[in-house]
Amino acid sequence: MTTYWKSDSLMFIGKNGVTYGWQATLDNYKKGYPDKAAMGQLEFNLLEFKRLAKGVYLVIGKWHLTRTIGDLQGHFSLTMKKIDGEWKIIADHSS
């Protein structure tokens, strides 16, 4: 969660709709991945980077979660912004 913008304005869009805020996003992660078996090993394949504005990028990729209880995979788009000298995810759409 360190890469996510620690703000109530953070947006995470997933299969259950939009979640607003860093804490609410963390709470959803903990609910969806309650233990190491559910968490598994996450891998990313970054496909494309597009500059949207100075200090703002769109990142498109694939994710794959290897787990003993069954693998999961999908795609994501991230909006990343440079805030106080650090790159932060300000919006995440994962499916």
Domains of the chain: 11-94 (3.10.450.50)
pLDDT value for 24 = 97
Task: Provide the whole-model pTM.
Answer: 0.91
Q: SS3 of 71, please? A: coil
pLDDT in tens, 41-67: 999 999 999 999 999 999 999 999 999
pLDDT value for 58 = 98
57 close to 82: Cβ distance less than 8 angstroms: no
Q: 20 CB contacts (<8 Å, ≥6 apart)?
A: 8, 9, 10, 11
pLDDT value for 46 = 97
In whole angstroms, give the CA distance from residue 89 to residue 13: 12
Question: The tokens of 56 are what?
Answer: 């703002």
With a cut of 50, which residues of the chain have pLDDT below it?
none
